[in-house]
Amino acid sequence: MRRFALLALIAFVAGALPAKALAATPEPPRISSGAAILIDATSGEVLYSRSAYVRRSPASTTKLLTALVAVREGRLSRVYEVSKESAAVPGSSAHLRAGDRYTLRELLEGMLMRSGNDAAHAVATSVAPDMPEFARRMNRTAIAIGARQTHFVNPHGLTAAHHYTSAKDLSRIAQVALRQAEIRRIVASQELTLTPEGGDGHPIRNTNQLLGSYVGADGAKTGTTNAAGKCLVASARRENVHLIAVVLKGGDRYGDASRLLDWGFLRDGGPLVVEEGRVLGRLPDGRPLILARRLAGTVLDGQPLRLRVRRRPGQLADGGLAGVAVLLRGAQAVAVAPLVTPRRPAAWWLGSVRRLLPGAVDPGSIHSL
């Protein structure tokens, strides 16, 4: 007996997604970076990978996770005083002076645009009581979002023992960080003025040279140290396609990222997303099959995606696993998510009765089942 019984097969065809002629997969570009990855930022699907799961020193691309923790846990409008310790951090600088007062939003601008290590230290000590605690929060956040090859010990990315990540993890960190409107705004800005409370402002320019030179570029972060080499996390959008490229230990980071993005936009016909909570079928007794987790894939080279739904045989308890939904590209499973039955049967039961006996049931008269 088959473990699952086929319930439905839904094909997403022309009209539902941007049309592209079915074509042979173009050859991936030649790049010089030691590690790289290209993902569709909406679906999360990996389009290109080269040593993407190898531990690497990330340099200032670390600051994307610093920003994510700060935006989630801090108050952007609150004013903080720059400490002597923050102002003295070596390396790239946003030119903060001890005693100057900035909002957390402004400190994030100095950190993400100018890549200021002083600003990164100030952000961390504004959000957490000390540096070790902020690092713990960074690592907890990394694990929570699925970046499990990441371990950071500082907020700026200066080379340190036990401070590492991978190209794959950085793509995930960028994917989640760019869901925050404030981070998107900052990393897409080419120039801003940083003004301390009661003082004179000074202009800061974004270190990301793709902004203004690559069509669709909208962030995200550069990084350079002797150990890490030249690194870049690059985000770009064209029409309904959003791509993220990560290149680490590269000699030509902007060229490598541009070539990966060009190749991705040539192939990517857009994401297909089925949101969590969508009803994808019904059991014989009328109970719905509900998608328990977001399902997403990418239309590549004009090849459509299909959604196949299968359910478990036998009696199924309320709120339990009822089957799986599989997103297919040809014979390849792109994504899989569980299907569940409702925890409380009231909604589907009432709906069934109303369909059978219209007007016979007053929803207000039913208090519990």
In a 13 Å sphere around the CA of 111, the CA atoms on its Cβ side amount to 34
List the catalytic residue out of 60, 86, 92, 189: 60
- Closest residue by Cα to residue 225 from 164, 170, 167: 164
List the catalytic residue out of 33, 57, 63, 126: 63
Enclosing H/E stretch for 322: strand 321-329
* Contact yes or no for 107/113 (Cβ under 8 A): no
- Closest residue by Cα to residue 73 from 22, 147, 11, 134: 134
Please tell me whether residue 102 adopts helix, strand or coil conformation: strand
List the catalytic residue out of 33, 86, 115, 171: 115
Does the annotation count 115 as an active-site position?
yes
- Closest residue by Cα to residue 235 from 180, 175, 186, 185: 175
Task: Give the type of residue at 37.
Answer: I
Task: Give the type of residue at 177.
Answer: A
Q: How far is CA 162 from CA 58, 60, 172, in A?
A: 12, 15, 20
Does the annotation count 63 as an active-site position?
yes
Show which residues are catalytic: 60, 63, 115
